[in-house]
A = this chain, B = another copy of it.
Amino acid sequence: MGKSTKISMAVIRRLPKYHRYLGELLENDIDRISSKELSERIGFTASQIRQDLNCFGDFGQQGYGYNVRELYNTIESILGLYKEYNTVIIGSGNLGQAVANYIKFEKLGFHLKGIFDKNPKLIGIKIRDIEIEDIDELPGFLGKTNIDIGIICVPKESAQEIANTLTKSGIKAIWNFAPVDLEIPDDVVVENVHLSESLMTLSYRLNEANLFKKEEE
């Protein structure tokens, strides 16, 4: 690690991509890679890569490249992936079910411990051996189960109320899929997945060429 200044979120958001590419290299038994080669694979410039990784210490040697395993382990450690996390999903519509069924999360150390919904038609159904429980049981469940991350997959109207229940029980991390900005205590972190925003960015980029062509005419 080495440096105690806070790392910028832009760097942090690139780390999972390093993690994914380095993981693939390891799967292919590649244990050393030059910053040039890594750059070609990952699509960041070599200087960007050096700059990013320098935030966390000294990696790589001139003319010798990066030790893939060492770099992978360090990034894994920075991302907090050396730990295990217990998660709970609130809202078991299609999106909640999609997240619940995402096996990769288990492999990364995120363990699903409960699924809650208010829809009587869904309560009792099992997803990956976990029975969907009545949302009214959530506070009791949180009181007796050690949960690290609450995953909110309910409609936006109910999201804040769920967030309140989660934070009151002491949960410090929320993964929020509802299209709303949650108000949460300062010591809680939220990561939003706002699908509409991603789709709008796509439509912007699809039109961008026309937008600026029109202006230049």
Seen from chain A, the residues whose Cβ lies within 8 Å of a Cβ on chain B are 1-4, 6, 12-13, 15-17, 19-20, 43, 78-81, 83, 85, 93-95, 97-102, 104-105, 108, 110, 148-149, 172-173, 175, 179, 181, 189, 191, 193-208, 211-212, 215-216
Contacts and interface: CB of A to CB of B under 8 A. Distances in A.
15 contacts: A3-B215, A16-B194, A17-B197, A43-B181, A80-B206, A94-B94, A94-B98, A95-B95, A102-B195, A104-B196, A105-B199, A108-B199, A149-B202, A189-B202, A189-B206
B20 A204 contact: no
Nearest to A21: B181
A12 B79 contact: no
Nearest to A99: B195
B85 A196 contact: no
Decide if the interface of chain A is mainly helix, strand, loop or mixed. Answer: helix
Contact of A85 (B197, B203, B208): B203
Nearest to A76: B200
Copies held by the complex: 2
Instruction: Among A102, A110, A202, find the residue whose CB has the most chain B CB atoms closer than 10 A.
Output: A202
Given A20-B179, A98-B94, A205-B191, A110 B199 contact: yes
Nearest to A153: B98
